[in-house]
């Protein structure tokens, strides 16, 4: 695939193939290895989360292309271009650790943008820490992703997050539900680190606020039949449902709820994608999602990003977190410049703590823990086939 930019992007050989297989290399530049800096993008490029994972990769790709088009990165008086290595973790912790080890063993890779799923991210964290590799997740929101992330042997933070975590947005969702007058909620989750963690946060705050939790069930991220738990929720006369899971399962759940005549409002932290709208159809109407950051429509350059994204990736639309993957690449680029080196993982990881930039998603700087400073939680609602930002 030829572009006008000086970029080398390494994609998985075929979406859905094992992470252990050798990727295809699409090389559109004559740059030698001596003036190329390699970073990895890791996300689910196959399976039920492939839509979101590809969106993350697209955001990272756009940033790499733009940086290279603007002359690359200057370090110690020399210009370098970025090369993106894309790997598929399939939203599976086992495959995620295999991919992480593959990246760690490749000494030419100096930083990671990923992963997408919290459970996969936590499984990969120790591997990156041992290798002195910094990883910046655009969207893994379980608090333990940062809270329990190991540091490198020299005590350097190696895991950073671009968005608010579930300990912030879960309670905010419960407060939002109370503000809308909901009093009786069913809480379901997909038993993943992200899904269960998000559901627990909503459940705990809802109880504190006096919202009755009529039923609480754990399913899986592969569940396709929700009718048993939905029938139970309907018999309990719930007025709201919280789904701790991703957009594909959220769409199945809400369609089956409406088929059963269950009109309860659906709350879900990560269903706010065009993919969800497509899968859920008319049943999506009224779904409320919490966004761990600023919605694209509220970003100052959001409209321009959307236009450029859709031109670059024909037939695709921006999902929830590609802007955060895009900004994560710029964080890595700035850290490399601050470190003044191109191949010292530990120095680049240490430099991330001092990065302060204005990104597409707002001001970017980090706490010592690896959390983004002053993260934002927003809410969007499905209205007439589109997502509208709402405050109450």
Q: Alpha-carbon distance 195 to 347, whole Å?
A: 34
> What are 347's two structure tokens?
């120095």
Asked if 56 and 70 sit in the same domain, the reply is: yes
Q: What is the pLDDT of residue 361?
A: 97
Q: What is the pLDDT of residues 68-114, one digit of tens each?
A: 999 999 999 999 999 999 999 999 999 999 999 999 999 999 999 99
Please tell me which residue, 18 or 64, carries the higher pLDDT value: 64
Burial of 215 (0-12, 13-18, 19+ CB in 10 A): middle
Asked if 184 and 136 sit in the same domain, the reply is: no
Domain range for 68: 8-164+298-364
Q: What are phi and psi of 208, to 5 degrees?
A: -60, -35
Q: Report the share of the chain in percent with pLDDT over 70.
A: 92
Q: Which domain-ending residue is among 245, 274, 291?
A: 291
Asked if 126 and 150 sit in the same domain, the reply is: yes
Q: Alpha-carbon distance 141 to 116, whole Å?
A: 9
Q: Alpha-carbon distance 245 to 291, whole Å?
A: 14
E strand spans, 55-172? 73-75, 78-88, 109-113, 134-137, 159-161
- Count of domains forming the chain: 2
Q: Which residues contact 225 (CB under 8 A, 6 or more apart)?
A: 256
Asked if 26 and 90 sit in the same domain, the reply is: yes
Q: What is the pLDDT of residue 320?
A: 85
Characterize the bridge pairing of strands 8-11 and 73-75: unpaired
Q: How confident is the model at residue 1 (pLDDT cuts 50, 70, 90)?
A: very low
Q: pTM for this structure?
A: 0.82
Asked if 22 and 160 sit in the same domain, the reply is: yes
**CATH for 276:** 3.40.50.2300
E strand spans, 134-286? 134-137, 159-161, 184-189, 212-218, 240-244, 265-267
Cα dihedral 151, 326, 360, 248, rounded to 10, equals: -100
- Asked if pLDDT for residue 28 goes beyond 70, the answer is no
Q: What is the pLDDT of residue 316?
A: 94
Residue 372 falls inside a structural domain: no
Q: Alpha-carbon distance 274 to 320, whole Å?
A: 9
E strand spans, 44-123? 73-75, 78-88, 109-113
Q: Which domain-ending residue is among 268, 291, 314?
A: 291
Residue 385 falls inside a structural domain: no
Q: Alpha-carbon distance 163 to 20, whole Å?
A: 30
Q: Alpha-carbon distance 89 to 213, whole Å?
A: 35
- Asked if pLDDT for residue 305 goes beyond 90, the answer is yes
288 DSSP 8-state letter: E
Using an 8 Å Cβ cutoff, are 149 and 125 in contact?
yes
């Amino acid at each position: 695939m030829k572009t006008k930019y000086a970029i080398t992007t390494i994609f998985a050989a075929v979406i859905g193939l094992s992470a252990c297989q050798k990727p295809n290399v699409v090389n559109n530049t004559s740059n030698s290895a001596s003036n190329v800096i390699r970073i990895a993008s890791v996300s689910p490029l196959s399976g039920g989360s492939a839509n979101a994972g590809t969106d993350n990769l697209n955001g990272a790709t756009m940033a790499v292309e733009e940086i290279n088009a603007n002359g690359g990165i200057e370090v110690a008086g020399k210009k370098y271009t970025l090369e993106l290595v894309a790997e598929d973790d399939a939203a599976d912790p086992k495959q995620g650790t295999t991919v992480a080890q593959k990246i760690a063993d490749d000494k030419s890779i100096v930083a990671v943008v990923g992963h997408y799923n919290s459970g996969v991210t936590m499984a990969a964290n120790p591997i990156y820490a041992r290798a002195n590799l910094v990883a910046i997740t655009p969207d893994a929101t379980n608090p333990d992703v940062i809270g329990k992330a190991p540091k490198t042997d020299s005590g350097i933070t190696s895991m950073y997050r671009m968005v608010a975590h579930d300990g912030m947005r879960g309670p905010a969702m419960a407060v939002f539900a109370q503000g809308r007058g909901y009093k009786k909620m069913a809480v379901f989750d997909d038993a993943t680190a992200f899904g269960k963690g998000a559901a627990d946060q909503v459940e705990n705050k809802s109880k504190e606020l006096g919202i009755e939790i009529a039923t609480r069930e754990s399913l899986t991220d592969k569940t396709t039949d929700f009718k048993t738990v939905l029938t139970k929720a309907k018999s309990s006369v719930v007025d709201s449902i919280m789904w701790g899971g991703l957009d594909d399962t959220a769409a199945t759940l809400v369609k089956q709820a409406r088929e059963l005549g269950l009109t309860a409002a659906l709350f879900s932290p990560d269903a706010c994608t065009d993919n969800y709208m497509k899968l859920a159809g008319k049943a999506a109407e009224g779904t409320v999602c919490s966004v761990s950051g600023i919605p694209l429509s509220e970003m100052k350059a959001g409209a321009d990003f959307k236009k450029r994204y859709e031109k670059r990736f024909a037939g695709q639309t921006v999902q929830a977190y590609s802007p955060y993957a895009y900004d994560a690449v710029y964080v890595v680029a700035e850290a490399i410049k601050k470190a003044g080196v191109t191949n010292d993982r530990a120095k680049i990881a240490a430099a991330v703590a001092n990065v302060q930039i204005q990104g597409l998603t707002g001001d970017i700087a980090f706490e010592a823990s690896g959390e983004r400073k002053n993260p934002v939680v927003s809410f969007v609602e499905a209205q007439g086939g589109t997502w509208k930002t709402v405050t109450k």
